Structure 1
């Protein structure tokens, strides 16, 4: 018989955290930063109108992702790109529109993310991304992803403002921080789930700093490519990688892994 809220075995809805996963994640976070700036500033739509437009587009794509019965690379990664833009705009609205200090928004989003993990674990007894095979688990997953983008934006802006590092130095700092997490996991056995989510948060300010470095004027410490060119470059890179994943089928969790994790959960219960 099928367990409550757990359908007959199906494919995991989340890709494996491979090199291509992290590459697209960083590219997506960069697009989240540059696309938000492009729409709100370069095209003069304003933060509020941009937020409304992107929220509607995101919800449409999210419904498609949520209703699908399996992992579809194109739909999944489009959802990530859009949630990256929405997460960025949430923080921008709080900071620029409502005047909420970055230290406050950083703390609030950190608490919200921790609370999401706590409730998720309370219901499911696992935070594994290898076993997102129910609607409830997927809902928790995307809520956590949204808070990681909002938190990463707020924390990244806070660090940038407090330390005034500049775009290129910020890229190096966050890259080193992610490297330290990887070292802690592979070298010192930091829990895989903890390492994954810390790295997931850190890729947001890394991608934002990279996007700012490429797009901002040279007078401000950037390369001056502009938000349009930078967004297009990274969108094309994402498209190439997503097509590669779609054609090769890489990134999918083997059914044996999903079955094994499901069996472990039944034993633990």
Structure 2
């Protein structure tokens, strides 16, 4: 298969907007899939499966990074990832904790294959078509794993959505703390990345589920619509400002430093 090379990484720079938008996609994927599945299975199939393959085709055929294209693809992976995580539970009756173990094993196997093939798992190295395919396969498995983990905590373990939010809210800080203590940055990144899914999905389920099920009862439709509105605003912002492109914040930092080191000359006063 062709292994095209790109001029720059086809992924966004990891900054605060990256994590906020990523969390939004997890919540939208959770309630969006539930909303469509409840109201129309054919629509859910068309949007979830068809949208996923269409978005992946759009993303993989391009040679450069573009905010809208990238984040729309992540969003469709979120919807499709919810479906593939819920599928074994619905069709085979397997408990969510078992599905989580299966996805974890698959994720570890794919990461090992990626590392052996390319020598790095860094998102800053997504500069060839082969590495990008590894990247999106990993992203998809993290969504499946995260969905199963969230449901296992809330349902199998009986924690409910509120306690699951607390659990995964604390858990997602652990890789950050380990990174501060000197742990490998790549391992910490993928650990946090996988945990965004159960955290975002738990928040969305808490907002959407009826009070009898431990939620606020807003409904999957309104929660999905609100998430999509915020998603559109943030993606529009990074698309217009180009602030999520690789090296954007480093360039801004250097420009600020240069400005402070070389201020504008004072204009002498006229007598």
Question: What TM-score, normalized by structure 2, do the two folds share?
Answer: 0.87
Q: How far off its partner does 1:218 sit?
A: 2.0
- Cα deviation, 1:90-131, whole Å, max 9, x if unaligned, reads 011110122223232212111111111111111110101012
Partner residue in 2 for 1:97: 91
Partner residue in 1 for 2:15: 18
- Cα deviation, 1:118-163, whole Å, max 9, x if unaligned, reads 1111111010101211110000000000000001111221122233
Alignment of 1:1-269 (within 5 A): 5=3, 7=5, 10-41=7-38, 43=39, 45-46=40-41, 50-51=44-45, 53-186=47-180, 188-254=181-247
Structure 1 regions of 5+ residues with no counterpart? 258-269
Contact 1:117–1:144 (CA under 8 A) maintained in structure 2: yes
- Cα deviation, 1:227-266, whole Å, max 9, x if unaligned, reads 11101111111111111101111111139x9xxxxxxxxx
Contact 2:95–2:156 (CA under 8 A) maintained in structure 1: no
Task: Return the alpha-carbon distance in structure 2 between the equivalents of residues 64 and 49 of structure 1.
Answer: 21
Structure 2 regions of 5+ residues with no counterpart? 251-271
Greater C-alpha radius of gyration: 2
Structure 1 runs (4+) deviating above 3 angstroms are: none
Partner residue in 2 for 1:264: none
Q: How far off its partner does 1:53 sit?
A: 4.1
Any idea what SS the aligned residue of 1:182 has?
Answer: helix
Any idea what SS the aligned residue of 1:80 has?
Answer: helix
Q: How many residues align?
A: 248
Any idea what SS the aligned residue of 2:172 has?
Answer: helix
Relative distance call for 1:173 and 1:151 in structure 2 (3 A) is: same
